[in-house]
Structure 1
């Protein structure tokens, strides 16, 4: 259960953040860039896929959102107690990976609400929203990886 000194932990951390920053609300990044460059059919495809994923996420949040929030914050509390009070290294590592994902999930849900309310027709507005969301996710990821690396180095040195 040595997490911060394991190469596998760092590979999983990089893979998680790479995947999260590539898929913007379930839409692959190359589809967004294609819609921005070419427009037309690519922009229509982007609008349809974004609308489908936004409806899917909002359906889940409206029907089971309170249960989902309860479960997520229960797990965060459990991980926080194990990580801070009991100093379990595995819980610290999972908490440093999981806690920023809660913020990313909130931003993704907020993006889904904006896509539903604005209903852009696949034009520059939707592309701009999705690119801004991806930038915020990447910023959160860089900060999270930096904090995790600092904590991991401190833990290994100590």
Structure 2
């Protein structure tokens, strides 16, 4: 006689729950849709905000002038002063801690072959470049006391460079992700 199907109790249902959660939050980052969504969101936000100023505000200042331009210039001044203050007060600490983290991610990812560390490295290192570019641009704005058209031109150039870094980063990440998926995806690791 065949035993009737009974619902699983005890650890069987817990194991199924854990496996479902860990399947959703897969540590194999390059085969996970959430990683690619996060990558797109990070670069979308990085190119939308130029030194903390929404790009549509820069466009509105160029079209309308007057109060819109004064608001944009004031917001640029506030964000540049804040960014340069943080860089001046704790810049060396941030560089040291950042170098340690990048080195750790590079070693874990590419020497010890940990895919999650590779994914974070490929997401973080280009953002560090954008951060350095932002500090440089903020310094130029403050030192030259830019306003009006020269300020808007520099902000557009900063956004274009950020978008170029983002396109390059997404391209390299996509190539590395395809390589990882073709190499290790077939092995089932």
TM-score, length basis structure 1: 0.98
Structure 1 residue ranges without an equivalent (≥5): none
Name 2:81's counterpart in structure 1: 55
Q: Displacement, 1:84?
A: 1.2
Distance (Å, rounded) in 2 between the aligned partners of 1:6 and 1:43? 43
Quick one: higher RCO (CA 8 Å, sep 6+), 1 or 2? 1
- Return the alpha-carbon distance in structure 2 between the equivalents of residues 73 and 114 of structure 1: 25
Q: Where in structure 1 do 4 or more consecutive aligned residues deviate above 2 Å?
A: none
Following superposition, the deviation at residue 36 of structure 1 comes to: 1.3
Which residue is 1:147 aligned to? 172
Give the RMSD, CA atoms, in angstroms: 0.7
Cα separation, 2, equivalents of 1:149 and 1:29: 27
Matched residue SS, 1:4: helix
Where does structure 2 lack aligned partners over 5 or more consecutive residues?
Answer: 1-26, 184-189
1:118 Cα shift? 1.5
Quick one: which of 27, 52, 58 aligns to 1:32? 58
Residue by residue, what CA displacement relative to the aligned partner does 1:55-105 show, whole Å, maximum 9, x if unpaired?
001111111111011111110000011111101000000000001011100
Q: How many residues align?
A: 157
Report the counterpart of residue 4 of structure 2 in structure 1.
none
- Deviations 1:114-147, CA, capped at 9 Å, x for gaps: 11111123x1111000000000000000010011
Q: Deviations over 1:24-60 (max 9, x none)?
A: 0000011011111111111111111001000001111
Partner of 2:92: 66
SS, match of residue 93 in structure 1: helix
Q: Which residue of 1 aligns with 2:159?
A: 134
- 1: CA distance, partners of 2:145 / 2:44: 28
